[in-house]
Structure 1
Amino acid sequence: ESFRHISNAATQKSVDKLIDVVSAHYGFVGEYYQIKAKLLGLKALKDYDRYAPLESNACNLPYDEALKLVLKSFGHFSKTFKDIALKALNKGWVDSHPAPHKRGGAFSHGSVPSAHPYVLLNYTNSRRDVFTIAHEFGHMVHQELSKTQGYLNMDTPLTTAETASVFAEMLLFDTLKNTLSKEDLIPLYAGKLEDIFSTLFRQVVMTHFERRIHAQGDELKPENFDEIWREENERMFGSSLKLSKNYDGWWCYIPHFVHSPFYCYAYSYGQLLVLALFGLYKSQQTPQSREKFIQKYTQFLSLGGSKSPKELVSAFGLNLESDKFWLIGMGEVQKMLEEFKELVNAQDSIFSGI
């Protein structure tokens, strides 16, 4: 896997620390899915049930309202972030809605230093689409800031590519926490936790799977792959989820294992790195310390790919090769899970009193 660490500008020690910390906290996943089974009224949650939505009513949020929420989130954090987003909207950098023959999905393309970023969205009035706006606008801010590094250094490795986008989602999440009803907060938290589980924990499961299949001395049969895949997934889900027999073969639909070996951990690396930085931001107790963090974070983004993740994080006085750094991010996951449990318990208390 060392060749992948080189392309990701990551050290083996930092990757090992990340994987150790995430693996040690698999229990968060099982705890969440046990609660979700209860919310869905199921005695046993199957693997195909785990992404069932908890929202009882479909959200219908107009695009203008979504933009106001994103701009409010950005403005509360940094005037620079909000100004770049406003400039993008005013100058037509954003293609926002579905249209005939338009490709699906969403992305922000950094282009070249002499041009602005281009953002593609397909907004359909869902709350998830609001997070997509925040995510892609975060990329756009990152790309606009980092183009000062020139063409060769403006792009980042995979390990820091999602820094601004996921951080922007967390800013929006913070805003929505203070504006939504408790009824709406439960599916909001559930959606965010499930995104984190997919990006953080599940990708580490995939990395454990890859490490094991490459460590085998003999040629593996399909059933050997199935067995290893199931074992690694069961380590994460524990008794919270019943994996169907068909799930055993799900390893074979993931192209990274063949075309981009050891690619998956970069998703986890980037996710937990951002959560650690966000946790550090939230821990700042004074306006002065928060402003100091914002300045360092803006500089972090402005450096693009000119420095390694380890060098970028060291500006905050932290070390990517230490448990301490990754545990800050894991603390944010735990905090979110505890807040989710409080919301569910409060809802149970209300219904039990009727």
Structure 2
Amino acid sequence: MRFISNGDFIFPFEYLIYLYIKNHKSKKYYYEYSKKYVLQTFKEFDERFYSAAKAIFDNKHAHSHPQKNKRSGAFCNLVTNKHLPYILLNHTDDIRDLFTMAHELGHGIHDVLSMNQPNLLQHAPLPLCETASIFSEMILADNILKKSDDAEEKKYVLMNLLDNNYASITRQAYFVMFEIYAHENMHKGITIKDLDEMYMKLLTEQFGDMKIPEIFKNEWNYIPHIHEYPFYCYSYAFGNLMVLALYEIYKIEGKNFIDKYVKILSKGGSQNPEEMFLEIGIDISSEKFWQKGFEIIKEEINELKKLK
């Protein structure tokens, strides 16, 4: 088996399915710089986004750095419709932390804009939970790609977007395909071997010419969502692709789209998603709408190819 190193970790070559820049030295994105950059990005997009994000910082509702006994990761926590949400970060000055800040502030902005809803209807339903967070990452990525003179930084941004698209859309959709097969056939006497073979078949379909190690036929056994939350993964694929489609519409309509988008966010969980979108002239039952999301992915791939 062949191995490659990024300086800190050794990866088995066959298992490295995510994009990777050899010997990439990322610049430091210090917390105050990241905060200023993200807020300015929101300000250029829409004053309401900027005001909501700034209020979270000004009211000290963001915890920034890792410390002893602090929970890892990052999240946004909604309390009530009378209080600003809280965000937890673990900022270590990496570019990923810059995007995490934009992501969690996106959740916070969503919560602020939906404060007009009753408590039980304020939080967005599962398929719409990432509507503002991923959109905020897209705004940030576009800002960097337009303003940066650093080709390596641009490569990293595009590769990060494409990695997220794979992990959040394609991979999740294939989990659901596997679940559909399993649930439709579990009463027909299928065996563990049958499930292993189907999972491997779906992996082979995903990765084309890539050699898939035999051990990966068992991967489905340790995916907790498959066992504990059946069909939960659809919401990841649905929500992430939906945001890409919305962003493509924004790129076409420009500032005219923003009021419509804010209207969606302000609804929180008070309305059926399909009805909510129809009110702003978007039919999410249309294949054409979803295809717009794939257009964004195609554009990202083409942009990355230009940065050889």
Q: Does TM-score exceed 0.5, indicating one fold? A: yes
CA offset at residue 50 of structure 1? 1.6
Q: How does 1:264-343 map to 2 (within 5 A)?
A: 264-284=233-253, 290-343=254-307
Query: 1:242 maps to what in 2?
Result: 211
CA offset at residue 47 of structure 1? 4.5
CA offset at residue 52 of structure 1? 6.0
RMSD: 1.6
Q: How does 1:100-179 map to 2 (within 5 A)?
A: 100-179=68-147
Q: Is the 8 A contact 2:19 2:163 kept in 1?
A: no
Report the AA paired with residue 175 of structure 2: M
CA offset at residue 316 of structure 1? 3.1
Q: Is the 8 A contact 1:190 1:340 kept in 2?
A: yes
Query: 1:223 maps to what in 2?
Result: 193
Report the AA paired with residue 88 of structure 2: L
Q: Does 1:188 align with 2:157?
A: yes
Query: 2:225 maps to what in 1?
Result: 256
Question: Given the two structures, how large is their TM-score scaled by the length of structure 2?
Answer: 0.92
Choose which of 232, 243, 250 in structure 1 pairs with 2:202: 232
Q: What SS is found at the alignment partner of 1:178?
A: helix
Q: Is the 8 A contact 2:179 2:226 kept in 1?
A: yes
Report the AA paired with residue 106 of structure 1: A
1-side partners of 2:33 and 2:229: how far apart? 40
Distance 1:269 1:212, change over 3 A: same
> Is the deviation greater in 126-135 or in 174-183?
174-183
2-side partners of 1:73 and 1:312: how far apart? 27
CA offset at residue 67 of structure 1? 1.1
Q: Is the 8 A contact 1:296 1:316 kept in 2?
A: yes
CA offset at residue 251 of structure 1? 0.5
Whose RCO is larger (CA < 8 A, sep 6+)? Answer: 1
Q: Does 1:49 align with 2:55?
A: no
Q: What SS is found at the alignment partner of 1:183?
A: helix
Query: 1:69 maps to what in 2?
Result: 37
CA offset at residue 51 of structure 1? 2.9
Report the AA paired with residue 221 of structure 1: T
Report the AA paired with residue 314 of structure 1: L
Query: 2:7 maps to what in 1?
Result: none
Query: 2:9 maps to what in 1?
Result: none
Choose which of 167, 173, 182 in structure 2 pairs with 1:213: 182
Moved over 6 A (4+): none
Q: What SS is found at the alignment partner of 1:119?
A: strand
Question: Gapped runs of 5+ residues in structure 1?
Answer: 1-36, 38-44, 285-289, 345-354
1-side partners of 2:269 and 2:153: how far apart? 39
Aligned length: 295
Report the AA paired with residue 260 of structure 2: K
Query: 1:8 maps to what in 2?
Result: none
2-side partners of 1:155 and 1:185: how far apart? 34
Deviations 1:246-284 (A, max 9, x none): 111111111111111111011010001111111000002
Q: What SS is found at the alignment partner of 2:147?
A: coil
Query: 1:200 maps to what in 2?
Result: 169
Report the AA paired with residue 320 of structure 1: I
CA offset at residue 85 of structure 1? 1.1
Report the AA paired with residue 189 of structure 2: E
Question: Gapped runs of 5+ residues in structure 2?
Answer: 5-11
